Chains A and B, each alone.
Chain A
Amino acid sequence: MVRRILQSPLTVLGIFLVAMIIILAIFAPWLAPKDPLEVNLGQKLLPPSSEHLFGTDEVGRDILSRIIFGTRISLKIGLMVVLISFPIGTILGAIAGYVGGMVDQVIMRLTDIFLSFPGIILSMSIAAALGPSIENVLLALAITWWPWYTRIVRSSVLSIKSSEFIESARAIGANPFRILFKEIIPNAIAPASIQASLDLGFVILAAAGLSFIGLGAQPPSPEWGAMLSSSREILRDAWWAATFPGLAILVTVLGFNLLGDGMRDLLDPKNR
């Protein structure tokens, strides 16, 4: 297992990036050189230097420290959205696939409704309706995200439910509920969990996008999207104020994507 991971340098890079982000998030107070919220108008818009590695923003806050604390917000959103939408999507998809008939129709048409809107527009309208805050962004993204898992899980359940071990579980007297949760879902969950690991990156991206247009984190919160947004006007004078938060988003999304891709290759039985 370990050797197969090491064979793919991109997966190793993904693991490294994700590990780095997690470490930064956990140890932010110790790793950040300055207080991310400390305003120092005397030191505003300083270019990168040994004192401020990534420079300072328009009110003199240390950008490096803000980015380090920003990992906490981004990771929290990514994890929470996936942790909320993944179980909901999985259970609904499993029920749709296993029960079939009318139940299947109702659940799948519901997912169709959600999937027929572009996700970002739907979450924008939900976030706008609920009012701008991190929690509402989280909720808006979770609401738009679960149908993907429902689709994936349903299709794998459909192929698993006709396997012989399901028949033999019935033959020892297991009830449908038990079969669904003990036999079918554990076998159907792999493709969806790969999607979930890829989605961590996309959720972070979407949340940054919502914050950028002002629907998410509010200043002075060190959220990357919000940082980008507030540095928009000073882009010509202070390239560092926009570049580093942007790079942070890039690195994070890339890390989760590489990790997800590596996981897919690793879990794909065809590559075994």
Chain B
Amino acid sequence: MLLELNDVSLSLKRDGKYVKILDEISLQVNKGETVGIVGESGCGKSMTALSVMRLLPEKAKLEGVINLDHEDVTSYSKRKMEKIRGNKMAMIFQDPLTSLNPLHTVGRQIEETLILHTDLNKEQRKQRVIELLNEVGLPRAEEIASEYPHQLSGGMRQRIMIAVAMACNPSLLICDEPTTALDVTVQAQILDLMNHLKEVNEMGIIMITHDLGVVAEVCDRVVVMYAGKIVEQANVKELFLNPKHPYTKGLLESIPKLGVKKAKLGSIPGMVPSPDKMPQGCRFFDRCSSAMEICKGKTPPMSSVGEDHTAACWLYEEKGGEMNGSSGSEGLEATLHN
């Protein structure tokens, strides 16, 4: 087990009071595994990543356990976190243009990671930069190292960002929508590159995205988040073929499929509730097509719905079904017939 989050909750201070952004997130990432985190905007995907990196705003309250290589990093001091950031874990951001300092050459920015975390001398660092540029598939590495971010294309810049992140061979790589700002052909190249690097370096990757195509392409396991909570967790195939949670189903239905003529693309009505007005019970209740009485009052627990497949929904909770009698089983049947 490379990374383990156990009941991680995060509260941020808004207008003088703490608002819970993440609610008891638990997930695991193994070595050489890519875990996708999907969900709508504002569901807490990025905040989960920033919690792991501890790149949180000043007044944030983080609870729970985050184990990296069996060590709880939530107890680490600021300085200790600086030592493992960029070294043991690294992060790639969405927009490769704004993530690079416009005043430094890209070689210099890759070197920065090496300056911070290694004892290599100048000559060795230079060599390593060239090596990294080659590794991320940039031709004429020596020339590119002395160029500035604005001289490179979007895809090249994202490769630079990957090189920056890979400089110290991190065991965990967190990618926050790494391909959103890129065009489709470049997207595929970048994803291929990441897959390749993962295999070579045995990294664990957390892939945050709202693009289910990206998930299908690179992820081994998927975590679906909704309104600061995990609602479903499964391996990729299982999730795409056999989604359980009504929210996951809604997400999958909202992808257009080639060759299938449909009058209307599926969409989920309504919006994600804002964190300071979280409803009691199931947070998806308002927008759920198979909502039941029990969903309104009680939060559904995570329960197993198949091999390595968990979901938080009363539809699959035996107790809930019993307690709620007919409406529960009706809902279940309705979904099964879908």
Partner of A172, one of B81, B98, B116: B116
Docked complex: A148-165 residues within 8 A CB-CB of B: 163-165
Q: Whole-angstrom distance from the CB of A213 to the nearest CB of chain B?
A: 44
| B98–A165 touching, CB < 8 Å | yes
Which chain B residues lie closer than 8 Å to A173 at the CB level? 81-87, 113, 116-117
Q: Whole-angstrom distance from the CB of A94 to the nearest CB of chain B?
A: 15
Q: Whole-angstrom distance from the CB of A90 to the nearest CB of chain B?
A: 15
A75 in the interface (beta carbon within 8 A): no
Which chain A residues lie closer than 8 Å to B53 at the CB level? 171
Partner of A175, one of B82, B87, B165: B82
Give how many A residues have a beta carbon under 8 Å from the other chain's beta carbons.
17
Docked complex: B73-127 residues within 8 A CB-CB of A: 79, 81-87, 90-91, 93, 95, 98-103, 112-113, 116-117
Docked complex: B148-192 residues within 8 A CB-CB of A: 161, 164-165, 167
| B99–A164 touching, CB < 8 Å | yes
Which chain B residues lie closer than 8 Å to A164 at the CB level? 93, 95, 98-99
Which chain B residues lie closer than 8 Å to A169 at the CB level? 101, 112
Inter-chain CA distance A183–B87, complex, in Å, is 19
| B87–A167 touching, CB < 8 Å | no
Residue of A nearest to B149 (CB): A165
User: What are 27 A-B pairs with beta-carbon distances under 8 A?
Assistant: A163-B98, A164-B93, A164-B95, A164-B98, A165-B101, A165-B102, A167-B99, A168-B91, A168-B161, A168-B164, A169-B101, A171-B53, A171-B55, A171-B90, A171-B93, A172-B85, A172-B86, A172-B113, A173-B81, A173-B85, A174-B86, A174-B112, A174-B116, A182-B112, A183-B101, A186-B103, A187-B101
> Footprint of A on B, CB under 8 Å?
53, 55, 79, 81-87, 90-91, 93, 95, 98-103, 112-113, 116-117, 161, 164-165, 167
> Footprint of B on A, CB under 8 Å?
163-165, 167-175, 178, 182-183, 186-187
